[in-house]
Amino acid sequence: MDDSFLPIVRTVAALRGHLAPWRERRQTIALVPTMGALHEGHMSLIRLARAQADRVVATVFVNPKQFGAGEDFDHYPRDEAADARQLLAEHCDLMYAPAPEEMYPPGFSTAINVSGVSEGLCGAARPHHFGGVATVVAKLLIQAGPDVAIFGEKDYQQLMVIRRLVRDLDLHVEILGAPIARAPDGLALSSRNAYLSAEQRQIAGRLNAVLKEAAAALGRGAQVAGVEADATEALLSAGFASVDYVEARGAADLARLGPGPVDRPTRLLAAAFVGKTRLIDNVAVG
């Protein structure tokens, strides 16, 4: 690849045509799906992908099917030129940036629903979100046919949905979860952080701190129900406008836990609003 130029393809045919010579040379391919507005968190995914495969493809597609009515699809940050510069700097080999009409041509009528792991948590507040995620990810995996695909653990429920999707549909791809990239104060890096004012940004930094304190309490044997309630109150006291959830779930399958002490590997997950911006985060317990 010319190290001063990042190839960009916009159709399935062009994508497959670009990948074909790599496959002929038996080179492995890693896929990093994104919605653009790239930041250091995304670049950490690209670096992990480079360590896993000979070639790296990043997708940039703001998927309309995973936004509900009144959500921020129209205002979601988009800057393809900046995205391309960052990907080039990290030695990404190809950007796939299809238009909505390429992904969902006229008459498109197929939807994928992954039950179980998609229920509750973000699935309760955004009932159509994970159906849209599952549909677009299935299409991207089929279109590119990568050996491995990388997803960040910040969207932990999404990662579980994708792993279940791949298992259930026997897709021949390895799904890797990448550690959450964070700001110095612990805030998980997110494209939506750009919505925060300076004051809101200070409040947002408390989200991870509260979760870490709650996870430590669970690790010491505290009751799940009490820790969830205390963490919710701590977020509201810190200035969050509202809290969608703070829940401890089984790390392997997002199964609900009993009200007592944790009895299995656990993930503590939260979603809360700072102003109109919805932030999510999660931490491992123990």
Relative to beta strand 94-96, strand 242-250 is unpaired
Q: What's the pLDDT tens digit per position in 76-134?
A: 999 999 999 999 999 999 999 999 999 999 999 999 999 999 999 999 999 899 999 99
As a residue count, the chain comes to 286
Classify 252 in phi/psi space as left (phi over 0), alpha (psi -120 to 50) or beta: alpha
Do the Cβ atoms of 223 and 257 come closer than 8 Å? no
Q: What is the pTM of this model?
A: 0.95
Positions in the chain whose pLDDT score sits under 50: none
Residue 2: per-residue pLDDT: 57
**Domain range summary for the chain, segments of one domain joined by +:** 8-178, 191-285
Residue 3: per-residue pLDDT: 65
Residue 278: per-residue pLDDT: 96
**Topology of the domain covering 8-178:** Rossmann fold (3.40.50)
Read off the tokens for 91: 């030695």
Write the burial class of residue 254 (CB in 10 Å: 0-12 exposed, 13-18 middle, 19+ buried): buried
Positions annotated as catalytic residues are: 42
Q: How far apart, in whole angstroms, are the C-alpha atoms of residue 17 and residue 248? A: 45
Read off the tokens for 93: 């080999």
- What are residue 179's phi and psi, to 5 degrees? -55, 150
Residue 108: per-residue pLDDT: 97
Q: Which CATH class is domain 191-285?
A: alpha beta
Classify 36 in phi/psi space as left (phi over 0), alpha (psi -120 to 50) or beta: left
